[in-house]
Amino acid sequence: MTLLTNARLVLPGEVRTGSLNVRDGRIVADSDPADGPAPGEVDLGGRYVVPGFVDMHVHGAAGTSYQSGTPEDARRVAEFHRAHGTTTTMASLVTGDAAELRRAVAGLAEAAQDGLIAGVHLEGPYIAPSRCGAHDPALLRDPDPGEFRELVKLGRGHIRMITLAPELPGALDLVREAAAEGVLAALGHTDATSAVTRAGFDAGARVATHLFNAMRPLHHREGGPVTAALNDARVTVELVNDGIHVAPDVARLVFAAAPDRVALITDAMAATGMGDGEYMLGVMRVRVSGGRATLAEGGSIAGSTITMADAFRRAVTDVGLPITVAARAASLTPARALGLDAEIGSLEPGKAADLVVLDEDLGVWRVMKGGHWQ
């Protein structure tokens, strides 16, 4: 058993000073004094303890990405983000040709089987050319049920989410098929109207991919995907909180509209944890300058270079959220969207002991995954 004492525990709706008990990899209720002192007692000196971060949209870090599908690259990316507090990570793939996606999905299924990642997120290839962002427009295609079924089969139950544009031919049918297969459908990279987006949510989509980015902008006479997502209580909205994708005052507005439905994401690419220079995102060349990642040709934003620890800290310091709200957006809300909230996402007895210890400046001090310090 490990006993974390003198901690500021960030719980749903409150911060409580006290202790946290961990036994056999899980958070447990207060121990019986008759058990004697815990063999692994750690005095945290008043530091914050938040649930381990859950990143449902991340492409890479440390100079590489999940796109290769190799165990070595997957481990390198996942371990980098874990060291920065992300105890549960998805592996997001950008648009690729059919052979590339098959190869990547098959490789990442092994990583998911080993517990390294929580699943695979297909961001594309069924997205709108007019809102393709950092995806190669030459590789985009209309929804293909046959290809989707083949990828699901190769994923062996580990394809957990797919982003698509609801206005494309056959998109709503694919949303329904995804739901039937247990795959979370997300709407994004879209030029859809509000009505078409609502139809996608009615068909079973439950996530808006990086709200505002790569989608029809909000207009007071046509709200587009933004208003459709914010007005639908069934929908989780992703937010890249790096101060580049979305301004702090806009992020503040999103939290005011849907406080318990915002999931902070990184959308991190290979340059995360590295430095300025040129990197690859799928087949697209990306230039990073001052931490801002853009396509070398065209200048579109091409993912981010932040960690979830950065996104969380900015939510408190720049957006002005209470630490409890920021913690929910970084942990419980994405865990709930992925169907993992019974196991992770909050510091509740019975859940996995995935947690992050933060210093007074909200920097990562220590990370615990499944009861083990990382």
Rounded Cα gap, residues 285 and 211, in angstroms: 24
**b/e per residue 173-210 (b: at least 16 CB within 10 A):** ebbebbeebebbbbbbbbbbbbebbbbbbebbbbbbbb
Annotated binding site for Zn(2+): 123, 189, 210
Does 361 qualify as catalytic in the annotation?
no
Distance of CA 72 to the CA centre of its chain: 21
Token pair for 230: 């914010």
Q: Which residues carry a binding-site annotation for substrate? A: 134, 213-214, 221, 245, 301-303
Q: What is the identity of the amino acid at 17?
A: T
Secondary structure (H, E, C), 250-312: HHHHHHHHCCCCEEEECCECCCCCCCCEEEEECCEEEEEECCEEEECCCCCECCECCCHHHHH
Nearest to 177 by CA among 154, 144, 142: 144
What six digits make up the tokens of 33? 């004094």
Query: Of the candidates 227, 179, 181, 168, which has an alpha carbon nearest to the alpha carbon of residue 206?
Result: 179
Q: Is 231 exposed, middle or buried (0-12, 13-18, 19+ CB in 10 A)?
A: middle
β-partners of residue 215 are 190
Query: Which run of H or of E encompasses 14?
Result: strand 14-23
Query: Among the options 55, 232, 267, 341, which is catalytic?
Result: 267
**Residues marked as binding?**
123, 134, 189, 210, 213-214, 221, 245, 301-303
Is 125 within 8 Å of 139 (Cβ atoms)?
yes
Q: Around Cβ 28, how many Cβ atoms within 10 Å?
A: 15
Asked if residue 166 has a cis previous peptide bond (ω within 30° of 0), the answer is no
> Is there a contact between 16 and 42 (Cβ–Cβ < 8 Å)?
no
Catalytically annotated residues? 267
